[in-house]
Amino acid sequence: MENGGSFVGIHGAGGDPLPTANPIFAPPRSAAAWGWYVNTLLGEQFIVHSPIMPGAVHVEDKQNPITKGLPEIWQRSDEWYAFQENPRNKPGFHILATVDEKSYEPGKASMGADHPLIWWHCVGNGHALYSALGHAAEYYAEPLMIRLLENSMAWGLEQSGKPCPASN
C-alpha cells in the first residue's frame, strides 16, 4: 500500500468494534487489534451501527470519479456505521458522502450533524478508499450500489502505482 497500491474497502472491512465494546471481538480475532489497518489504512475505527433502516446519503463530491452517476441525495436502507472519530478532522482525508442523521433514528450510532460514510486518503504513496455502505446481500443488486462499486474499483485500478499527493 505505502509504495503505491490501492485499497477499496466496503462495509465490514471497516473493522470490528473495539474489544471493550464487545468482548467477542477481543484480540486476536479483531481487526481493531491491528493498529496499522484501522488507524492508517482505514483511517478510522468503526464502533457501532444502527439497525437496518432507510436513510439519506448526501454525496458531497460530485466531481470525484468514485461518485460519478450517483444522485446528490441517495435514499437507501442500510445499517449506518458510526466511527470513533470523524475522518473529516484528519489531514488529507477527502469525504465523498455522508448520511443525514435527521433522515433516520441513529440511536447509539450517532455522530451528529457530520456523519461521513465514504472517504479516501493517501497511505504513503498508496490510495485507500472506504465505504461503510453495503450490509445486506441484496444491496449489491441495487443499480446505484453497483455504480459505486464499479467506480471505486476503476478508481483504485487507475490510481494504483501512481504517487498519491494528498491534494488530489
Q: What is the pLDDT of residues 120-157, one digit of tens each?
A: 999 999 999 999 999 999 999 999 999 999 999 999 99
Q: Is the peptide bond before 28 cis (omega within 30 degrees of 0)?
A: yes
pLDDT at 168: 43
* Cβ 130 vs Cβ 124: under 8 Å: no
pLDDT in tens, 27-72: 556 676 788 888 899 999 888 999 999 999 999 999 999 999 999 9
Of all residues in the chain, the percent with pLDDT exceeding 90 is 76
Q: For residue 15, what pLDDT band results from cuts at 50, 70 and 90?
A: confident
- The continuous run of DSSP H or E covering 55 comes out as strand 46-59
What are the Cα distances from residue 106, in Å, to 16, 31, 64, 88, 96? 19, 24, 28, 19, 20
Mean pLDDT of the chain: 90
DSSP assigned state of 162: S
Q: Which residues lie closer than 8 Å to 164 by C-beta, 6 or more apart?
A: 4, 122, 123, 124, 125, 126, 127
Burial class (CB in 10 A: 0-12, 13-18, 19+), 110: middle
Given a cut of 60, is residue 2 above it in pLDDT? yes
* Cβ 98 vs Cβ 60: under 8 Å: yes
- The continuous run of DSSP H or E covering 93 comes out as none
User: pTM higher than 0.85, yes or no?
Assistant: yes
Domains identified in the chain and CATH numbers: 6-14+48-159 (3.40.50.880)
